[in-house]
């Protein structure tokens, strides 16, 4: 039987986004504060995912051996380093989160049966690399606060309560939503970026956070006048709002994870989202909370 195993590791390092062929003005225009000298640092968290067959001892690999390989090939070289000088590859392509993940894959792939490298630069920014040439994934985290009521307008309070429980109460309730948006694209061989992160954040803020934050979704967002704003439907709505603007940035919206509370979250594959006008339509109830 095959099994996926994961190993976590950490390293602390600094880096600077700076291309010598660009002027100081152009570097700051492209990289913002990340171009400042002598650079800035992060506490990186690394997850190495591996796939293999269970052996007679109930293991895919001996995790002590995995730990030593990761230390030898990656963390001992990167920990407390200036990444731009740590590996020769970072002279050619800047040490962005997505490119660091790619280079870690290249160092570990000869030794481990990798299926994914996930690297967190900080809790709200991470990258994944799965071994597909220059293709990588970038996840940006954000949040908004909103109220909603789960009720189909065509049903009575009693029927809605049977479906949605307390969430059908007439005056609604609120959540502090956490949103993770994952985009996919090709790493630029010089800048190391698959998308302009500042532009991506602006799209997310302008299209999602600002319109949804501190609203009563059922009444303030026209789409939810007849679509029940469950976490699932909110995630679909966000995907429909973001897909086109992210395409215009040169990336692809891959998936969205919406966390409603520590107990409830949902995730959608955005490849199934069709670009069409956001016309609210009545939808069947999904599930009781």
Is 3 annotated in the active site?
no
Which one of the listed residues 148, 167, 175, 270 is annotated catalytic? Answer: 167
Which one of the listed residues 122, 143, 214, 248 is annotated catalytic? Answer: 214
Nearest-angstrom CA–CA distance, 254 and 136: 11
DSSP E strands, 114-196: 114-122, 125-129, 135-148, 173-186
Tokens 């992210």 -> residue: 246
Is 121 annotated in the active site?
no
First CA to last CA distance, the chain: 35
Nearest-angstrom CA–CA distance, 73 and 225: 55
Is 267 annotated in the active site?
no
Nearest-angstrom CA–CA distance, 252 and 194: 10
Nearest-angstrom CA–CA distance, 244 and 5: 36
Rounded to 5°, angle at Cα 254 from 251 and 260: 125
Which one of the listed residues 260, 266, 270, 283 is annotated catalytic? Answer: 260
Annotated catalytic residues are: 167, 214, 260
């Amino acid at each position: 039987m095959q099994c996926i195993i994961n190993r976590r590791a950490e390293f602390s390092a600094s880096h600077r986004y700076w291309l010598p062929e660009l002027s100081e003005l152009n570097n700051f225009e492209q990289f913002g504060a990340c171009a400042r000298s002598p650079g800035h640092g992060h506490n990186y968290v690394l997850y190495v995912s591996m796939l293999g067959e269970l052996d007679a001892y109930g293991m895919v690999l001996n995790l002590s051996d995995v730990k030593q390989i990761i230390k030898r090939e990656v963390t001992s070289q990167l920990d407390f380093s200036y990444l731009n000088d740590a590996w020769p590859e970072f002279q050619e392509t800047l040490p962005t989160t997505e490119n660091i993940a790619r280079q870690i894959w290249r160092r570990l792939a000869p030794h481990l049966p990798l299926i994914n490298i996930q690297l967190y630069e900080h809790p709200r920014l991470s990258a994944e690399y799965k071994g597909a040439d220059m293709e990588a994934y970038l996840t940006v985290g954000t949040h908004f606060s909103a109220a909603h009521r789960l009720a189909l307008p065509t049903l009575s309070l009693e029927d809605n309560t049977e479906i949605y429980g307390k969430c059908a109460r007439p005056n609604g309730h609120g959540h502090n939503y956490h949103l993770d948006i994952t985009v996919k694209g090709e790493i630029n061989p010089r800048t190391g970026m698959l998308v302009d992160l500042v532009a991506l954040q602006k799209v997310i803020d302008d299209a999602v956070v600002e319109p949804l934050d501190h609203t009563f979704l059922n009444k303030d967002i026209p789409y939810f006048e007849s679509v029940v704003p469950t976490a699932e439907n909110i995630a679909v709505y966000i995907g429909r709002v973001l897909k086109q603007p992210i395409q215009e940035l040169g990336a692809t919206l891959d998936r969205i994870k919406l966390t409603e509370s520590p107990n409830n979250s949902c995730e959608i594959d955005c490849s199934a989202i069709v670009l069409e006008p956001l016309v609210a339509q009545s939808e069947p109830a999904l599930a009781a909370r």
